[in-house]
Structure 1
Amino acid sequence: MKNFVQPGDVLDYTPTAAVEGGTPVALGKRVGVVVNSLAANQLGAVRVSGVAVLPKVAADVLGQGDLVYLTAEGLITKTATSNTPAGYAAYPAAADAATVSVQLNG
């Protein structure tokens, strides 16, 4: 196919501030996870599909398949208001869990 560009599970990304590898970031109305640590204005990669273990809001109880969102603080939450769609909980996460496995929106 002559108009094919790339598979699309990893995209180029240039942060405005330094960001550590594994950090979830908002890409407009979607979320990706930085593959390797990047300095400010350094071109790198962000994964936009697949399952990633991400930090979550401590009080949230998430069931498998629940829609999840990224807060401005970089945490996964079940609260949609003022947050960026991230995907859904790939597995349940209890209130005391520090992380949740997220199937990214892609």
Structure 2
Amino acid sequence: MEHHENGQRGARPRTGSEGSQVADMQSAIFAVAARSKGREVEDVKRMLQEEFDHRQVTPQAGPWLDAVATSAAIGKPYIISNEALWATEARQDAGERGPHSSDA
């Protein structure tokens, strides 16, 4: 584990295409969570997979996808990491949607 400037310990920050992939994945989660409150978890999992496919990112499978879908079904987006959240917010602040955004 590395120490970050803010004194926290954690995995190394993602950079380059790896960081872009995780930001695309986080953006997909936000997009699905915004329109899936109250839906069945299985429907949300399908929506997530379609959004991930559209953005050409490969999410973790199994329990992770279940957790993301369960959170989205109650209207709360799953946060992958602080770095993913910050990268997504930076894109939004810059007016970017990412190369695979469905909003483009």
Q: Which has the higher helix share?
A: 2
Higher relative contact order (CA 8 A, sep 6+): 2
* TM-score in same-fold range (> 0.5): no
Q: State the TM-score, normalized to the length of structure 2.
A: 0.29
